[in-house]
Structure 1
Amino acid sequence: MSDQIIVTTGIYDAIKDTLRRKKVSLEEEKRLTAELRKAKQVRRRDLPTDIVTVDRKVTLKDHTLNFEHEYIFVPSIKEKLKKNKHSILSDIALAVVGYRVGDVIEWPFRDGERKIEILKVESWEG
Protein backbone atom coordinates (compact mmCIF):
# COMPACT_ATOMS: atom_id res chain seq x y z
CA MET A 1 0.00 0.00 0.00
CA SER A 2 1.16 3.54 -0.69
CA ASP A 3 2.75 5.12 2.37
CA GLN A 4 1.59 8.57 1.34
CA ILE A 5 -1.35 9.91 -0.62
CA ILE A 6 -0.75 12.02 -3.71
CA VAL A 7 -3.17 14.91 -4.23
CA THR A 8 -3.39 18.18 -6.10
CA THR A 9 -3.14 21.35 -4.06
CA GLY A 10 -6.84 22.01 -4.80
CA ILE A 11 -7.92 18.65 -3.38
CA TYR A 12 -5.58 19.11 -0.39
CA ASP A 13 -7.17 22.49 0.38
CA ALA A 14 -10.72 21.11 -0.07
CA ILE A 15 -10.02 18.29 2.41
CA LYS A 16 -8.50 20.77 4.89
CA ASP A 17 -11.65 22.91 4.56
CA THR A 18 -13.87 19.87 5.14
CA LEU A 19 -11.91 19.11 8.32
CA ARG A 20 -12.21 22.71 9.51
CA ARG A 21 -15.97 22.58 9.03
CA LYS A 22 -16.19 19.34 11.04
CA LYS A 23 -17.96 17.51 8.20
CA VAL A 24 -16.42 14.15 9.15
CA SER A 25 -16.43 11.86 12.19
CA LEU A 26 -13.70 12.20 14.81
CA GLU A 27 -12.03 8.98 13.60
CA GLU A 28 -12.08 10.17 9.99
CA GLU A 29 -10.72 13.54 11.07
CA LYS A 30 -7.76 11.90 12.85
CA ARG A 31 -7.03 9.70 9.84
CA LEU A 32 -7.33 12.50 7.27
CA THR A 33 -5.19 14.86 9.34
CA ALA A 34 -2.45 12.22 9.57
CA GLU A 35 -2.65 11.52 5.83
CA LEU A 36 -2.50 15.20 4.90
CA ARG A 37 0.57 15.69 7.10
CA LYS A 38 2.60 13.32 4.92
CA ALA A 39 0.71 13.85 1.63
CA LYS A 40 2.60 14.68 -1.53
CA GLN A 41 1.08 17.67 -3.33
CA VAL A 42 1.48 17.86 -7.10
CA ARG A 43 0.11 19.89 -9.99
CA ARG A 44 -2.87 18.41 -11.79
CA ARG A 45 -0.79 17.64 -14.89
CA ASP A 46 1.80 15.82 -12.74
CA LEU A 47 -0.74 13.57 -11.01
CA PRO A 48 -0.26 9.91 -12.02
CA THR A 49 -3.22 8.48 -13.96
CA ASP A 50 -3.78 5.62 -11.49
CA ILE A 51 -4.42 7.97 -8.52
CA VAL A 52 -7.96 8.52 -7.20
CA THR A 53 -8.94 12.17 -7.64
CA VAL A 54 -11.70 14.36 -9.02
CA ASP A 55 -13.05 13.56 -12.53
CA ARG A 56 -12.02 9.92 -12.36
CA LYS A 57 -14.13 6.79 -12.62
CA VAL A 58 -13.03 4.43 -9.87
CA THR A 59 -13.87 0.76 -9.31
CA LEU A 60 -13.66 -0.27 -5.67
CA LYS A 61 -14.01 -3.62 -3.94
CA ASP A 62 -15.37 -3.46 -0.42
CA HIS A 63 -13.89 -6.54 1.26
CA THR A 64 -15.89 -5.96 4.45
CA LEU A 65 -19.32 -5.84 2.79
CA ASN A 66 -18.18 -8.08 -0.10
CA PHE A 67 -19.22 -6.06 -3.15
CA GLU A 68 -17.69 -4.13 -6.04
CA HIS A 69 -18.93 -0.75 -7.17
CA GLU A 70 -17.94 1.88 -9.70
CA TYR A 71 -17.95 5.53 -8.60
CA ILE A 72 -17.49 8.72 -10.56
CA PHE A 73 -15.83 11.33 -8.36
CA VAL A 74 -16.71 14.91 -9.29
CA PRO A 75 -16.45 18.39 -7.74
CA SER A 76 -19.02 18.80 -4.93
CA ILE A 77 -21.21 21.15 -6.98
CA LYS A 78 -21.59 18.49 -9.70
CA GLU A 79 -22.67 15.66 -7.39
CA LYS A 80 -25.65 13.72 -8.80
CA LEU A 81 -26.08 10.45 -6.94
CA LYS A 82 -28.77 9.19 -9.35
CA LYS A 83 -26.13 9.35 -12.09
CA ASN A 84 -23.50 7.75 -9.83
CA LYS A 85 -21.59 11.04 -9.55
CA HIS A 86 -20.20 11.32 -6.04
CA SER A 87 -18.59 14.39 -4.53
CA ILE A 88 -14.83 14.11 -4.10
CA LEU A 89 -15.60 15.09 -0.49
CA SER A 90 -18.13 12.26 0.08
CA ASP A 91 -17.30 9.62 2.71
CA ILE A 92 -16.22 7.01 0.16
CA ALA A 93 -14.12 9.48 -1.83
CA LEU A 94 -12.34 10.82 1.26
CA ALA A 95 -11.42 7.23 2.15
CA VAL A 96 -9.65 6.57 -1.17
CA VAL A 97 -8.60 9.97 -2.58
CA GLY A 98 -4.88 10.14 -3.24
CA TYR A 99 -4.43 6.37 -3.25
CA ARG A 100 -3.65 4.32 -6.36
CA VAL A 101 -4.75 1.14 -8.10
CA GLY A 102 -3.87 -1.91 -5.98
CA ASP A 103 -3.98 -0.07 -2.65
CA VAL A 104 -6.10 -1.58 0.13
CA ILE A 105 -7.33 0.93 2.70
CA GLU A 106 -8.79 0.20 6.13
CA TRP A 107 -11.09 3.15 6.75
CA PRO A 108 -13.13 4.21 9.82
CA PHE A 109 -16.52 4.87 8.17
CA ARG A 110 -19.33 6.12 10.38
CA ASP A 111 -20.93 2.66 10.31
CA GLY A 112 -17.66 0.93 11.21
CA GLU A 113 -14.23 0.03 9.87
CA ARG A 114 -14.20 -1.24 6.28
CA LYS A 115 -11.50 -2.59 4.01
CA ILE A 116 -11.57 -1.04 0.53
CA GLU A 117 -9.41 -2.05 -2.45
CA ILE A 118 -8.89 0.17 -5.50
CA LEU A 119 -9.32 -2.06 -8.57
CA LYS A 120 -9.38 0.47 -11.40
CA VAL A 121 -9.00 4.22 -11.97
CA GLU A 122 -9.95 5.77 -15.30
CA SER A 123 -10.06 9.31 -16.56
CA TRP A 124 -13.62 10.62 -16.81
CA GLU A 125 -14.85 13.59 -18.80
CA GLY A 126 -18.34 14.59 -17.76
Structure 2
Amino acid sequence: MKPIVKESDYSTIKNIINNLTPAQKTKEVGQLMNELELAKKVPDKKIPKDVIQLNSYFEVEVGTPAQIIKMTMVIPKNADLAQHKISLFSPLSVALIGFREGASVDWVLPGGLRKLKILKVTNQVQQELVAK
Protein backbone atom coordinates (compact mmCIF):
# COMPACT_ATOMS: atom_id res chain seq x y z
CA MET A 1 0.00 0.00 0.00
CA LYS A 2 1.50 3.32 -1.12
CA PRO A 3 0.75 6.53 0.82
CA ILE A 4 -0.94 9.45 -0.95
CA VAL A 5 0.20 13.01 -0.23
CA LYS A 6 -1.20 16.23 -1.61
CA GLU A 7 1.34 18.48 -3.32
CA SER A 8 0.97 21.38 -0.85
CA ASP A 9 1.59 19.08 2.15
CA TYR A 10 4.62 17.60 0.39
CA SER A 11 6.08 21.10 -0.16
CA THR A 12 5.28 22.25 3.38
CA ILE A 13 6.83 19.17 4.98
CA LYS A 14 9.93 19.30 2.76
CA ASN A 15 10.42 23.00 3.67
CA ILE A 16 10.13 22.23 7.39
CA ILE A 17 12.62 19.36 7.09
CA ASN A 18 15.06 21.45 5.03
CA ASN A 19 15.08 24.11 7.77
CA LEU A 20 15.85 21.68 10.60
CA THR A 21 19.25 21.67 12.24
CA PRO A 22 21.20 18.40 12.01
CA ALA A 23 20.36 17.73 15.70
CA GLN A 24 16.62 18.03 14.93
CA LYS A 25 16.77 15.44 12.15
CA THR A 26 15.65 12.46 14.20
CA LYS A 27 15.10 8.88 13.05
CA GLU A 28 11.40 9.74 12.57
CA VAL A 29 12.27 12.68 10.30
CA GLY A 30 14.33 10.30 8.15
CA GLN A 31 11.47 7.80 8.05
CA LEU A 32 9.03 10.57 7.10
CA MET A 33 11.34 11.68 4.27
CA ASN A 34 11.41 8.08 2.99
CA GLU A 35 7.62 7.81 3.18
CA LEU A 36 7.20 11.11 1.31
CA GLU A 37 9.53 9.99 -1.47
CA LEU A 38 7.56 6.73 -1.86
CA ALA A 39 4.19 8.47 -1.73
CA LYS A 40 1.99 9.23 -4.69
CA LYS A 41 1.84 13.03 -4.94
CA VAL A 42 -1.51 14.38 -6.12
CA PRO A 43 -2.90 17.87 -6.75
CA ASP A 44 -4.62 19.25 -3.65
CA LYS A 45 -8.07 19.10 -5.24
CA LYS A 46 -7.60 15.40 -6.09
CA ILE A 47 -6.68 14.11 -2.63
CA PRO A 48 -9.34 11.68 -1.39
CA LYS A 49 -11.26 13.09 1.58
CA ASP A 50 -10.47 10.08 3.78
CA VAL A 51 -6.64 10.30 3.57
CA ILE A 52 -4.65 11.39 6.63
CA GLN A 53 -2.78 14.61 5.80
CA LEU A 54 -1.61 17.71 7.63
CA ASN A 55 -4.38 19.02 9.90
CA SER A 56 -6.38 15.78 9.63
CA TYR A 57 -8.31 14.61 12.65
CA PHE A 58 -8.04 10.84 12.92
CA GLU A 59 -9.06 7.97 15.13
CA VAL A 60 -6.84 4.91 15.09
CA GLU A 61 -7.01 1.57 16.86
CA VAL A 62 -3.61 0.47 18.18
CA GLY A 63 -2.50 -2.97 19.32
CA THR A 64 -4.10 -5.78 21.27
CA PRO A 65 -6.00 -5.15 23.44
CA ALA A 66 -7.21 -2.34 21.25
CA GLN A 67 -6.59 1.23 22.34
CA ILE A 68 -8.32 4.06 20.45
CA ILE A 69 -6.23 7.19 19.87
CA LYS A 70 -7.91 10.40 18.67
CA MET A 71 -5.57 13.11 17.37
CA THR A 72 -5.09 15.89 14.85
CA MET A 73 -1.82 15.80 12.86
CA VAL A 74 -0.11 19.21 12.85
CA ILE A 75 3.23 20.81 12.05
CA PRO A 76 5.66 20.46 14.98
CA LYS A 77 5.31 24.01 16.35
CA ASN A 78 1.52 23.50 16.72
CA ALA A 79 1.78 20.16 18.54
CA ASP A 80 0.00 20.09 21.92
CA LEU A 81 -0.93 16.72 23.38
CA ALA A 82 -3.31 18.36 25.88
CA GLN A 83 -5.34 19.51 22.85
CA HIS A 84 -4.86 16.15 21.06
CA LYS A 85 -2.58 17.73 18.43
CA ILE A 86 0.31 15.46 17.44
CA SER A 87 3.43 16.48 15.52
CA LEU A 88 3.81 15.10 12.03
CA PHE A 89 7.30 14.02 13.19
CA SER A 90 5.89 11.70 15.87
CA PRO A 91 6.24 7.96 15.21
CA LEU A 92 2.44 7.59 14.98
CA SER A 93 2.10 10.40 12.42
CA VAL A 94 4.98 9.07 10.32
CA ALA A 95 3.23 5.69 10.25
CA LEU A 96 -0.18 7.07 9.24
CA ILE A 97 0.38 10.04 6.91
CA GLY A 98 -0.97 9.34 3.44
CA PHE A 99 -3.12 6.35 4.40
CA ARG A 100 -6.90 6.10 4.15
CA GLU A 101 -9.70 5.46 6.56
CA GLY A 102 -10.13 1.69 6.89
CA ALA A 103 -6.45 0.92 6.16
CA SER A 104 -4.29 -1.16 8.48
CA VAL A 105 -0.59 -0.39 8.84
CA ASP A 106 2.07 -2.38 10.70
CA TRP A 107 4.67 -0.01 12.16
CA VAL A 108 7.36 -0.02 14.81
CA LEU A 109 6.37 2.48 17.50
CA PRO A 110 8.35 3.16 20.70
CA GLY A 111 6.58 0.18 22.35
CA GLY A 112 7.45 -2.19 19.49
CA LEU A 113 5.69 -3.42 16.35
CA ARG A 114 1.99 -2.47 16.36
CA LYS A 115 -0.93 -2.94 14.01
CA LEU A 116 -2.65 0.40 13.40
CA LYS A 117 -6.21 0.42 12.02
CA ILE A 118 -7.47 3.80 10.81
CA LEU A 119 -11.09 4.08 11.97
CA LYS A 120 -11.97 7.65 11.01
CA VAL A 121 -10.44 10.58 9.13
CA THR A 122 -11.85 14.10 8.99
CA ASN A 123 -10.15 16.90 7.08
CA GLN A 124 -10.62 20.66 7.47
CA VAL A 125 -12.02 21.05 3.97
CA GLN A 126 -14.84 18.69 4.89
CA GLN A 127 -15.49 20.60 8.12
CA GLU A 128 -15.58 23.95 6.30
CA LEU A 129 -18.05 22.61 3.72
CA VAL A 130 -20.32 21.33 6.50
CA ALA A 131 -20.17 24.71 8.26
CA LYS A 132 -21.34 26.63 5.16
TM-score (norm 2): 0.74
For 2:43 and 2:116, the matched residues in 1 are separated by 26
* Residues 21-73 of structure 1: CA deviation (Å, up to 9, x unaligned): 53126xx846862x434310122222111000111110000034521121111
Q: TM-score, normalised by structure 1?
A: 0.77
Larger RCO, structure (CA 8 Å, separation 6 or more):
1
Partner of 2:69: 69
Q: Relative to structure 2, which stretch is displaced further, 44-53 or 60-69?
A: 60-69
Separation in 2, partners of 1:57, 1:65: 23
What one-letter code is carried by the residue in structure 2 that aligns with 1:24? K
Structure 1: gaps (5+ residues): none
Q: Specify the code of the residue in structure 2 equivalent to 1:22.
A: K
Considering fraction of residues, name the structure with more helix: 2
Q: How many residues align?
A: 120
What percentage of residue pairs aligned between the two structures are identical? 24
8 Å contact from structure 1 (residues 15, 89) kept in 2: no
**Structure 2: segments with no counterpart, 5+ residues:** 128-132
* 1:27-106 to 2 correspondences below 5 Å: 29=30, 33=34, 35-64=35-64, 66-106=66-106
